Structure 1
Amino acid sequence: MKLIKTILILAPHTDDGEFGCGGTIAKYVAKGVRAVYVAFSAAEQSVLPHLPRDILRTEVRKATAALGIADEDCLVFDFEVRRFPELRQSILDKMIELSRKYQPDMVFLPSANDTHQDHQIIAQEGFRAFKRTTMLGYEVPWNNLDFRTSCFVDLSEENLKVKIRAVGMYESQKHRDYASAEFIGSLALTRGVQIGKRYAEAFEVVRWVIS
């Protein structure tokens, strides 16, 4: 069985990866796996008026550092939020470049049933770019019309603490209900109960490749 050496996290916007699979990232990084985090937008058009427009670019570097990701492995592109459908070819081109450069063993991306237009494009084009690679769709319950819990990653208490700490780096997002430690912990607890563990994150199996 091929060992996992590199994982690639595709986040439509800064913070999506932390919310969707932050505990799993922390678990893999702790085991010495390289994690490459790619945010396609810093959502500058959605930042609250009283905050600096580029605040999410600063926060994502703090958050990914908290997860143990090297600074050079945190990439932030400039696609404009909510315009991904009309930019899908450019997004696909970027993904193909990422595939060639990093040759990941596993890719994390939004669920195919995510209702946000930007998330849908990353899920769809991600499948096209990485169809020969194992792919798992991560969970963001506030966007998911449906979600198949077909894969679980058992998390330690430390993995969960790291995830909560990483999400906490997004000071600009603390007004959102789903950014609370209580919500993040309760979802991890719920997913853990489903597999007889204390904590877990759930994923949809998009494609599983065994080498």
Structure 2
Amino acid sequence: MQVAAIGAHPDDIEIGAGASIAVHRNRGDAVRFIILTNGGKVAAQSQRRAEAERAAEILNVDDVHFLDYADTEVPYNQETVDELEAKLTAVDPDRVYIHAEEDTHQDHRRAAKASITASRNVNQVLAFEAPSTRSSFAPQYYNSVPEGVIEGKIEAIRSHESQQEKKYLEAEAMKGLARFRGRQANSTYAEAFQVIRINNMYKSNFYGSR
């Protein structure tokens, strides 16, 4: 299975879909990360980029691409769509993980819109949640994940040392959300997604999904 994940900032993919990405890699699925900014508003771009590359390494992902848009200024226009589409077309993914539109951060909303357009020919498109996701986020798809994988996700998030003052990135917060989503999915831990598109011929391909 070919997989791509799109995040507005260096830590977004790990927060929203890090455990699912780890399971994909454990299965031998190819994964590409596409990150729209270098996150320069909070820390030096070089530091945040290095943190993102380290997090990807922890999740066993070595195909990481940065589009270098300015932090907080991700545009939703034809250029963004074209760049994303080119990165997706190069790997022809079966599944793409993206931001949800129901989000209070402008970069996340614009990234979601551009990603939906750029992935219009992909069989599966799933939108992940973030700490800034609004309460209107309504998951319809769950990836159940083992406890060891959750620990790997937390390790990947912790590699973003410049962000550690953010309380929602604490291990217990991450585990608490995974437990809550796991209860909804009849498992111990899970990540939850909104379905943008899903082709039934691929639906059973992910371990523990429902």
Calculate the TM-score normalised by the size of structure 2: 0.91
Superposed, which structure 2 residues align to 1:15-54 within 5 Å? 15-47=11-43, 52-54=44-46
Superposed, which structure 2 residues align to 1:14-163 within 5 Å? 14-47=10-43, 52-70=44-62, 73-85=63-75, 88-133=77-122, 134-163=124-153
Matched, 1:190 2:186: no
Number of positions where the alignment pairs a residue of Structure 1 with one of Structure 2: 200
- Asked whether the 8 Å contact 2:104–2:132 carries over to 1, the reply is no
Q: Distance in 1 between matches of 2:45 and 2:121?
A: 37
Deviation at 1:145, TM superposition (A): 4.2
- Asked whether the 8 Å contact 2:36–2:74 carries over to 1, the reply is no
Aligned to 2:171: 181
Gap regions ≥5 residues in structure 1: none
The Cα offsets for residues 23-60 of structure 1, whole Å up to 9 and x where unpaired, read as 0000110000011011110111332xxxx442101100
Deviation at 1:128, TM superposition (A): 0.9
Deviation at 1:116, TM superposition (A): 1.2
SS at match of 1:131: coil
- Asked whether the 8 Å contact 2:140–2:193 carries over to 1, the reply is yes
Q: Distance in 2 between matches of 1:144 and 1:101?
A: 32
Aligned to 2:193: 203
Of 9-18 and 37-46, deviating more is 37-46
Q: Distance in 2 between matches of 1:89 and 1:45?
A: 24
Call closer, same or farther: CA 1:122–1:53 in 2, change over 3 Å: closer
CA RMSD of aligned residues (A): 1.3
- Asked whether the 8 Å contact 1:151–1:202 carries over to 2, the reply is yes
Aligned to 1:6: 2
- Asked whether the 8 Å contact 1:66–1:162 carries over to 2, the reply is yes
Runs of 4+ in 1 over 4 A off after TM superposition: none
Calculate the TM-score normalised by the size of structure 1: 0.91
Q: Distance in 2 between matches of 1:45 and 1:191?
A: 31
Of 144-153 and 34-43, deviating more is 144-153
Gap regions ≥5 residues in structure 2: 202-210
Of 34-43 and 143-152, deviating more is 143-152
The Cα offsets for residues 84-134 of structure 1, whole Å up to 9 and x where unpaired, read as 23x632211111211221111100000121221111111111111111211
- Asked whether the 8 Å contact 1:132–1:209 carries over to 2, the reply is no
SS at match of 1:137: strand
Aligned to 1:169: 159
